[in-house]
Chain A
Amino acid sequence: MRNLVILGGGTAGTITANKLRKKLPKSEWTVTVVDRDDAHRYQPGYLFLPFGMYQPDDVTKSRREYISDDIPLVYGDIDRVDPEAQTVTLMDGAVLPYDQLVIATGVTPRPDQTPGMDDEGSWYTDVFDFYTYEGATRLAEKLRTWQGGKLVVQVVEMPIKCPVAPLEFSFLAEAFFTERGLRDKVDITYVTPLSSAFTKPICSERFGHLLEDRGITLEPDFMIERVDTDSKALVSFDEREIPYDLLVTIPLNMGADYIARSGLGNELNLVPVDKHTLLSKKYDTIFALGDANDIPASKAGSVAHFEIEVFVENFLQHIAGRAMTGAFDGHANCFIETGYGKAMLIDFNYDVEPLPGRFPVAGVGPMSLLKETRLNHMGKLAFRWAYWNVLMPGRPMPISAEMSMAGKHMPADKVPVS
């Protein structure tokens, strides 16, 4: 009997376990999932919690309920992986031997990595994150009574989970305060280490204009050195200062500490892998999926979904001793809430930046790419149902894992001159 151990029962771990359990003969393979608790959070929903658009119950379900009954779910904190002995040791001393290991423990916001950020007296008083369940729910309480002032939305450093979420938060905040009649009392600044609103040029230009239209100030190229909680200001390495009354930060994102203890990670505890196969660069018994790896793609559930479509067939070839023939292309697909009941949609991969057009059917849509529409917003809301009922059980989604150019077009003024 051979053992496949999957560390992490979130988006990537759950889909992988359910898909592979169906493909691997039960007489030959056990599949085991390890996680610290039974709470599976629908992380895209965190964006809606601060504004009261979702309630806490809307984002939490039991992991056990979504992992097939024939897959043991082991609860515990991971101490370390020994890649030579091929074992995983938990904090309670339990040892799980593996023949193949899938690391899918994601990334976690680390406010402790920026001096001053999580100081007692400030953290969850006037400095908040919204990428954790606690942060998003505490921020919801704060926003219910906040009467205005300087709101600063700030990204510490890339890569982060869901790179568009900080922009979405800014747009939703602008709409939230407008709808509450407080907009003239709130000054919103978007602070980023990037040179513009986003990483890719066409997208960046559109988001930049949207920020301008909404009266949100953009502060680019801001590499934060520390949060000065006495004067309530962000201080950058080049000694710029940005004052705040309410700071909503996206702290540095890092992989799990056991990855560092096991010697498997880079400086951010992300596992270096081949960007097309997700196989560890050091060990042919270890794959890292979803946010836990270092591929140059978005850390988003859609990336996990598309990469697993490719990974499953590759994995079957790999354990049969054959070369892996599938290649993940970096495909990502994200709705971007812009407030007032509208959203945008982007679809891109390693080589092609988000472009305008129609999606998923060329010329028909019904979704529009890089354009604010009500239908895109409805798509984002409907996705929660699809997440739990189609994606997590490992059922096929009607979108190809490989990005398609059908329906996409390069704006005329952006076509490269050859």
Chain B
Amino acid sequence: MPVTTIDGHEIHVDDEGFMTVYDEWDETVGKSLAAAIGVEMTDEHWGPIRFLRQDFKSESVTPTLRRVSTVGGFDTKKLFELFPKKPAKKMAYIAGLPKPHGCV
């Protein structure tokens, strides 16, 4: 697994840059990851990101967009506004979680 440095933190990432070690993340790292993909974090952005972190801790799987909406209670349309084009992938990236996988 490659290791990269974000804001002075050494983090493990996969080939596509998604973090692979849960505990290497904190919100400072999250903010830097967001900036790297052109997302400026606001309070509204942190809500779903914190849900992703909490859900991954109990389920060990990056939640799907549907789960963020039905279990986390976040409006899907809003998620597309906050994390344009590919919210599921962008949220996972910023939250320091593995890329959501297809089911095949």
**Closest beta carbon of chain A to B27's beta carbon, Å:** 26
Known: A267-B71, A268-B66. A225 touches B101 (CB 8 A): no
Across-interface contacts of A194 in B (CB, < 8 A): 102
What are 5 A-B pairs at a CB distance below 8 A?
A199-B103, A237-B79, A237-B80, A272-B59, A299-B103
Are the CB atoms of A238 and B104 closer together than 8 Å?
Answer: no
Are the CB atoms of B66 and A267 closer together than 8 Å?
Answer: yes
Across-interface contacts of A266 in B (CB, < 8 A): 67
Are the CB atoms of A158 and B76 closer together than 8 Å?
Answer: no
B contacts, CB < 8 Å to A: 59, 64-67, 70-71, 76-77, 79-80, 84-86, 101-104
Known: A223-B65, A237-B77. A163 touches B104 (CB 8 A): yes
User: Is the C-beta of A48 less than 8 angstroms from some C-beta in chain B?
Assistant: no
**Closest beta carbon of chain A to B49's beta carbon, Å:** 18
Are the CB atoms of B77 and A158 closer together than 8 Å?
Answer: no
Across-interface contacts of A298 in B (CB, < 8 A): 103-104
User: Is the C-beta of A221 less than 8 angstroms from some C-beta in chain B?
Assistant: yes
Across-interface contacts of A221 in B (CB, < 8 A): 85-86
A contacts, CB < 8 Å to B: 157-159, 163, 194-195, 198-200, 221, 223, 225, 237-238, 266-268, 272, 296-299, 332
Across-interface contacts of A238 in B (CB, < 8 A): 80, 84-85
Across-interface contacts of A332 in B (CB, < 8 A): 104
What total count of A-B pairs have CB within 8 Å?
47
Are the CB atoms of B102 and A199 closer together than 8 Å?
Answer: yes
Q: Name, among B65, B71, B102, the residue most crowded by chain A CB atoms within 10 Å (CB to CB).
A: B102
Give Cα distance in the complex from A198 to B103, angstroms: 10
Are the CB atoms of A157 and B85 closer together than 8 Å?
Answer: no
Please tell me which one of the listed residues A163, A195, A237 contacts residue B103 in the complex, with CB atoms under 8 A apart: A163
Are the CB atoms of B103 and A267 closer together than 8 Å?
Answer: no
Are the CB atoms of A296 and B103 closer together than 8 Å?
Answer: yes
Are the CB atoms of A267 and B70 closer together than 8 Å?
Answer: yes
Across-interface contacts of B76 in A (CB, < 8 A): 223, 225, 237
**Closest beta carbon of chain B to A179's beta carbon, Å:** 30
Please tell me which one of the listed residues A158, A237, A272 contacts residue B102 in the complex, with CB atoms under 8 A apart: A158
Across-interface contacts of A299 in B (CB, < 8 A): 103
- Chain A residue nearest in CB terms to B89: A195
Please tell me which one of the listed residues B77, B85, B104 contacts residue A198 in the complex, with CB atoms under 8 A apart: B104
Give Cα distance in the complex from A268 to B64, angstroms: 11
- Chain A residue nearest in CB terms to B69: A267
- Chain B residue nearest in CB terms to A221: B86
Known: A221-B85, A237-B77. A157 touches B66 (CB 8 A): yes
Known: A157-B66, A238-B85. A225 touches B102 (CB 8 A): no
Give Cα distance in the complex from A200 to B70, angstroms: 27
Are the CB atoms of A200 and B86 closer together than 8 Å?
Answer: no
Are the CB atoms of A267 and B104 closer together than 8 Å?
Answer: no
Give Cα distance in the complex from A266 to B80, angstroms: 23
Across-interface contacts of A297 in B (CB, < 8 A): 103-104
A-B contacts besides A266-B67, A267-B71, 9 pairs, CB < 8 Å: A157-B66, A163-B104, A200-B102, A223-B76, A237-B76, A237-B79, A296-B101, A296-B103, A332-B104
